[in-house]
Amino acid sequence: MTNQKNHQITLARRPEGIPGPDDFTLRETPVPSPADGEVLIQNLYLSLDAAVRSWMKEDCSYFPPIPLGAPVRSTTLGRVVESRHPAHQPGDYVVAYACAAWEDFSVVAGDGLYPVKASPDFPLHYHLSVFSAMGLTPYFGMLDIGKPQPGETALISAAAGAVGSLAGQIAKIKGCRVVGMAGTDAKCRMLVDELGFDAAINYKGKNTEQLSREIAELCPKGVDIFFDNVGGEILDAALLNLAMFARVAFCGAIGDYTKNGPIPGPYHYWQILARCATVRGFLTLYYKDQFPAAIAEMKGWLDSGQLKFTDDISDGLDSTIPAFAKLFTGENKGKLLVRLTSEDL
Amino acid sequence: MTNQKNHQITLARRPEGIPGPDDFTLRETPVPSPADGEVLIQNLYLSLDAAVRSWMKEDCSYFPPIPLGAPVRSTTLGRVVESRHPAHQPGDYVVAYACAAWEDFSVVAGDGLYPVKASPDFPLHYHLSVFSAMGLTPYFGMLDIGKPQPGETALISAAAGAVGSLAGQIAKIKGCRVVGMAGTDAKCRMLVDELGFDAAINYKGKNTEQLSREIAELCPKGVDIFFDNVGGEILDAALLNLAMFARVAFCGAIGDYTKNGPIPGPYHYWQILARCATVRGFLTLYYKDQFPAAIAEMKGWLDSGQLKFTDDISDGLDSTIPAFAKLFTGENKGKLLVRLTSEDL
């Protein structure tokens, strides 16, 4: 590897709002070497996830913030180049969950790697999208927290996103009435016409009261399951419409990631008590042992056409920053990945 | 009953802050008559509960607000005087959960009454205190939501109150380390010296950051169970100290009941996701079918001295308003009841 260089995107400053080119620096460094217990991987695909934006904040909570000057921490799909860990051999494919970075090569702790295999049945990058922890987030969130029953009503925020679109389709498979919330009329039409949602709400420019009224109209028996990717006013509007004994799968708060300073929780937090509701936060990696069974079930639904899923792939490390911004402007069309290889895998 | 009069306390205006005499009117009316399906009861004891304060607000959520000019809705323990409902006979004792009022006589729907029996083993008014839905709130909240495991840490807000003191003692019975929060040093001493709590925090005059630091010191492995009666800054401080997979039993938000206007939810709501925590609201009446078994277990703990409980009883309808205020100033010493009878029951 001595002739090769590593290109990496580092965090130049803490972004305000949607991250742009000035927040990052592209630099060339030597390819690093693994220490004992570590593995050098070549990153083939980067996963662009909203959570990364929260790691750029100084007061990031569940992970340490990305230090200024360090490469941007990321989940990637890579190939082992050199291993000083007994579980990994050169040539193996691995997913490095939240421990690699936006760069060509990463050195990571071998214990943190999740091994995956190429399959003749689907492209390798599915392990970073529909069969990744991201793709399985709606699976576990909807099934283990939402516990959908036929005839119940499920409401999904950011429903046109990678996680939300799967969450809604899974609720539909389980016999729920499914209402999605998205930020454009085109996305709302797509949810109903292409993904089989029963109804959709365009939330753009509407306040809690307006949203609450629209939810009430489309969910006349109340919301039994709220799959929350967004937080903020949408969460408040959903809380106002919870059915008794509702379940809220608290999966993310993308609406808050670009804000700084103290962020008030939902103004209608009280509804959790009034409706005897359950709000449960979850991080999909804690379900790791159940990934193979979940992937098998998801694959069955994909093959039968009950589940539809799209990747939004851009090419080259240079495309990372503009592609990442699409997560927050809502321009992405499916799961955002960056491809760093020209191989057909 | 024709010669008797009914005395009642009606809501004269929507209170600001802690309710006082000017917020109510005492009036004399004829004793009402039950219609078909209804029952006339003589109220022997009134239960003074913080939730009643929230019913006095115009934007009360889970119950309709008490109309201006109407008697103040309350839970009472009464004796059936006249019944037009097949399940209730004159002389029967009943608890009227949130459907009677601060008055001598109430007419209530027979379906809403919970029958209780006098016992030689304990005073009748226990059915309105330690064996009531209030007394069983910490039982179900701690056991069904908190799910305490030996060696875990339980944190209790308003721990010197009727609900909190029981919640902490039940966690202790289940082998937890128990830390209580109360508003005076004397109450904190009482929690540790008399009720067997491991430690106590006086929260008065402290902000979220200070409280969070004190909780961190006393709960070095994090808070596995937070039994929340209070909301507000105490909730935020607790959220900052949750252990992974923590459970929050959301039982009340007494700190918010005397506030008007939009109340922001917890600023650290995000911690629910970061800690994979579960927040569950509950209303004890939904456990009604399990009351007899719960009372039997609680009685065993009381008899063995593992559970201690005090009632704070004042006499006469006139004592209601000053006694009710004690809930919000923290002056009450145990479960607040008003006795409206001179019989020894």
Q: Give chain A as a 3 state SS string.
A: CCCCEEEEEEECCCCCCCCCHHHEEEEEEECCCCCCCEEEEEEEEEECCHHHHHHCCCCCCCCCCCCCCCECEEEEEEEEEEECCCCCCCCCEEEEEEEEECECEEEEEHHHEEEECCECCECHHHHHCCCCHHHHHHHHHHHHHHCCCCCCEEEECCCCCHHHHHHHHHHHHCCCEEEEEECCHHHHHHHHHCCCCCEEEECCCCCHHHHHHHHHHHCCCCEEEEEECCCHHHHHHHHCCEEEEEEEEECCCHHHHCCCCCCCECCCCCHHHHCCCEEEECCHHHHHHHHHHHHHHHHHHHHCCCCCCCEEEEECHHHHHHHHHHHHHCCCCCEEEEECCCCCC
Record: contact A282-B270, CB cut-off 8 A: no
Give me the residue from B262, B275, B280 closest to A278, CB to CB: B280
Characterize the bridge pairing of strands A153-156 and A177-182: parallel
pLDDT at B259: 62
From chain A, pick out residues whose CB is under 8 angstroms from the CB of B270: 61, 253, 256, 263
pLDDT at B194: 96
Question: Alpha carbon of B36 to those of A175, B40, B83, B107, B108: distances in Å?
Answer: 42, 11, 9, 11, 11
Number of H helices, E strands in chain B: 10, 15
pLDDT at B258: 61
Tokens of A161: 């996103």
Record: contact B272-A281, CB cut-off 8 A: yes
pLDDT at A215: 98
Interface of B with A in 154-173 (CB under 8 A): none
A89: pLDDT strictly greater than 80: yes
Record: contact A270-B256, CB cut-off 8 A: yes
Question: Alpha carbon of A109 to those of A12, A40, A49: distances in Å?
Answer: 25, 9, 21
Angle between helices B208-218 and B232-239 (to 10 degrees): 50
pLDDT at B63: 78
- Dump pLDDT digits (tens) for A152-200: 999 999 999 889 999 999 999 999 999 999 999 999 999 999 999 999 9
Interface of B with A in 207-236 (CB under 8 A): 231
Query: Distance, in angstroms, between A286 CA and closest chain B CA?
Result: 9
Inform me whether the C-beta atom of residue B253 falls under 8 Å from chain A C-beta atoms. yes
H helix or E strand, kind and range, residue B2: none
Residues (pLDDT < 50) of chain B are: 1
- The Cα–Cα gap between A139 and B128 comes to 45
pLDDT at B299: 95
Record: contact A61-B274, CB cut-off 8 A: yes
Tokens of A191: 């949810």
CB A342 within 8 A of CB A41: no
pLDDT at A229: 87
- Dump pLDDT digits (tens) for A124-149: 999 999 999 889 999 999 999 999 99
CB A159 within 8 A of CB A181: yes
The predicted model gives A90-94 an average pLDDT of: 98
From chain A, pick out residues whose CB is under 8 angstroms from the CB of B272: 250, 279-281
Nearest CA in chain B to A252: B273
Record: contact A270-B278, CB cut-off 8 A: no
Pick A338 or A310 by higher pLDDT. Answer: A338
The residue length of chain B stands at: 345
From chain B, pick out residues whose CB is under 8 angstroms from the CB of A62: 273-275
Instruction: Name the DSSP letter for residue B258.
Output: T
Record: contact A61-B271, CB cut-off 8 A: yes
From chain A, pick out residues whose CB is under 8 angstroms from the CB of B279: 272, 278-280
Interface test with A, best of B57, B233, B269 (most A CBs within 10 A): B269
pLDDT at A61: 61
pLDDT at A190: 95
- Point out which residues pair with B256 in neighbouring strands: none
Phi, psi at B15, each rounded to 5°: -65, 150
Record: contact A61-B270, CB cut-off 8 A: yes
Q: What is the 3-state secondary structure (H, E, C) of A157-191?
A: CCCCCHHHHHHHHHHHHCCCEEEEEECCHHHHHHH
For B205-239, give the DSSP string: T--HHHHHHHHHHH-TT-EEEEEESS-HHHHHHHH
Question: CA end-to-end span of chain B, whole Å?
Answer: 22
- The Cα–Cα gap between A283 and A308 comes to 23
Give me the residue from B251, B265, B275 closest to A269, CB to CB: B265
From chain B, pick out residues whose CB is under 8 angstroms from the CB of A55: none
Nearest CA in chain A to B284: A276
The residue length of chain A stands at: 345
| CA atoms within a 13 Å half-sphere pointing along the CA-CB vector of A88 | 32
From chain B, pick out residues whose CB is under 8 angstroms from the CB of A281: 271-278
pLDDT at B143: 98
From chain A, pick out residues whose CB is under 8 angstroms from the CB of B277: 280-281
Angle between helices B291-303 and B162-173 (to 10 degrees): 80
Nearest CA in chain A to B250: A273
Record: contact A281-B275, CB cut-off 8 A: yes
A121: number of Cβ within 10 Å = 9
From chain A, pick out residues whose CB is under 8 angstroms from the CB of B281: 271-278
Record: contact A263-B266, CB cut-off 8 A: no
What structural domains and CATH numbers belong to chain A?
5-129+309-339 (3.90.180.10), 136-285 (3.40.50.720)
From chain A, pick out residues whose CB is under 8 angstroms from the CB of B275: 62, 281
CB A213 within 8 A of CB A191: no
Q: Encode burial over B164-199: b for 16+ CB neighbours within 10 A, e otherwise.
A: bbbbbbbbbbbebbbbbbbbeeebbebbeeebebbb
Of A127, A120, A119, give the one whose Cα is nearest residue A75. Answer: A127
Q: Encode burial over A324-336: b for 16+ CB neighbours within 10 A, e otherwise.
A: bbbbbeeebebbb
pLDDT at B8: 97
A35: pLDDT strictly greater than 90: yes
Nearest CA in chain B to A281: B273
- How far is Cα of residue A260 from the mean position of the Cα atoms in its chain? 21
- The Cα–Cα gap between A316 and A314 comes to 7
The position carrying tokens 């016992």 is: B119
pLDDT at A204: 94
Characterize the bridge pairing of strands B278-281 and A278-281: antiparallel
Nearest CA in chain B to A254: B270
The position carrying tokens 């000053």 is: B322
- Collapsing DSSP to helix, strand or coil, B107 comes out as strand
| CA atoms within a 13 Å half-sphere pointing along the CA-CB vector of A30 | 6
From the number of C-beta atoms within 10 Å of its C-beta (0-12, 13-18, 19+), residue A312 rates as: middle
From chain B, pick out residues whose CB is under 8 angstroms from the CB of A64: none
Record: contact A273-B253, CB cut-off 8 A: yes
Nearest CA in chain A to B279: A279
Record: contact A281-B283, CB cut-off 8 A: no
Interface test with B, best of A257, A276, A284 (most B CBs within 10 A): A276
- Dump pLDDT digits (tens) for A247-276: 999 987 666 666 666 777 888 898 999 899
